[in-house]
A and B are shown apart, each in its own frame.
Chain A
């Protein structure tokens, strides 16, 4: 019996759906499969991308500020180098060689770091004094990339604490952290001592406080970390830094933030999006492919609902005619069929979301690496399900527009006659 709180349109829509039970179940299943595919794929690809980006960006900053490069300024044909209307600037016939890029510091880097830290998008700013050096151990030497850091800042960008295989991350003035490959090549372990030679000086013996594994053989054999002031002394950059490493809250905004930094400070700022352009292009292509798949699945769901409702309108045309004869308005008939579309889609979306969540749980459980660890963590974002429910319901409503209009515009005389 009718509830006194249920509007006429809801009563009729629900009864029509209940009457065509098998048809209703099949279309709900169809919508559910579509929504489940969308939910599963979205969560999977989001997890995959997050994992890729986390792996790539956990070993580097999002933006790197560098000192300007040395440029050769060729002499011009005009004494004051100023362009004049009608007079072409002419480079002199001399061969112009590119200049040597000397190691140099970012000018006024402390003030610059403070200025960048105040930007709302910025998370961490970490100074670094970096350059080439040789690690000396007895008669053996290895060329390395020397990184002088402020640990409390730098570890918020690249958390070496998670990557230590032996020893600790202690970095006093006489400590050094080396990679596992370098330690292996030179037969070193935590607590051992070595020297570093640069173009400027050879260091006093430094103590290996820890050995790290950054998951990359090349990096593990070529990178060493030490306290900023130690590196500054070795590189001949007293008080200077060769780069400022910056992380931002939203990794995808890195290029925009980098451009803003360059625009406001004049310092060259490279974002990971530019320096890892191919990786970013692959991520973008994946996102586009995912969107295309979701769009076409949603389209097929919409056509499925529309086709079922067209059949329902044909099946119910005589009843629609009778309803019109007894004073039911075109608007009420329209709403009855729109509601059916919305309800079919909502029902399918709820079932599909549950199925998608179950599939994701199964994936999480059974898709493992060879060592048994989780392949990559998936996050079941409630917003994904909320969006799936809303978008599916709206799609159902939209799909129902044409059949509902057809039902509302049925000529009652023709409909009753059949």
Chain B
């Protein structure tokens, strides 16, 4: 993953134009496990959204899995995002109409159009790997915060993405649950060489990452 001169401004062309990222250059190698730290409002989430192809930079270029994304249309971006990038958000955001297992199946179902036994088996394996085999048929709303975050991690890994983006995934968890969740990220990072970008305010967890990226006022600090 590579960012070159990425800038992001809101309300472009108006008197209240605000630039939140000021020319970011960043390279991440396959299998790297990076913590992203910085104060609130420094541009961490915006950076993550741009890397995750949810948002486009105002200028600069983004390459994911070797593919330049500047010229891609929405459909191609969506496909690339679906196949190469997994997201875990602070508020886990499971789809409450589905069970834990079904939530994990969703990315695969969306990509293939129809359910299959292979999908079901992979979702069950992922649910098992996050320690929720006994809860796989529970409705998403009936799980605890920590359990929901584990399901969200399993879902993010459903398509076996090259890049896993986690936006403060432990922010709402107690210390023990946060530690468990971090260990899961590390486990998948080692097992599948998944590149992980892990936004956190927790210096203890950040210290356990391979690399720490600090974002201050929309710029990367050394």
Contact residues of A with B, CB < 8 Å? 1-8, 11-12, 15-16, 18-19, 318-319, 321-330, 332, 412-413, 416
Contact = CB atoms under 8 A, between A and B. Distances in A.
A19 B97 contact: yes
15 contacts: A1-B102, A2-B105, A4-B114, A12-B97, A15-B97, A18-B97, A19-B96, A19-B97, A319-B96, A323-B95, A326-B107, A327-B110, A328-B78, A330-B78, A332-B110
B17 to A, nearest CB: 18
A318 B97 CA distance: 13
B169 interface: no
Contacts, number: 87
Contact of A319 (B54, B95, B101, B117): B95
B74 A330 contact: yes
A354 B120 CA distance: 39
B109 A324 contact: no
B81 interface: yes
Interface of B: 49, 52, 54-55, 74-75, 78-79, 81-83, 86-87, 89, 93, 95-98, 101-102, 105-107, 109-117, 120, 155, 158-159
Given A323-B95, A326-B82, 14 more contacts: A2-B102, A2-B105, A2-B115, A4-B114, A19-B97, A318-B93, A319-B93, A321-B93, A325-B52, A326-B81, A326-B87, A326-B158, A412-B54, A416-B54
Given A16-B97, A19-B96, A328-B78, A323 B106 contact: yes
Q: Which residue, of B79, B93, B107, has the highest number of chain A Cβ atoms within 10 A? A: B93
A327 B107 contact: yes
A15 B139 CA distance: 12
A327 B114 contact: no
Contact of B98 (A15, A324, A327): A15
B105 A322 contact: no
Nearest to B94: A322
Given A19-B97, A412-B54, A413-B49, A325 B115 contact: no
B102 A413 contact: no
B159 A327 contact: yes
A5 B89 CA distance: 31
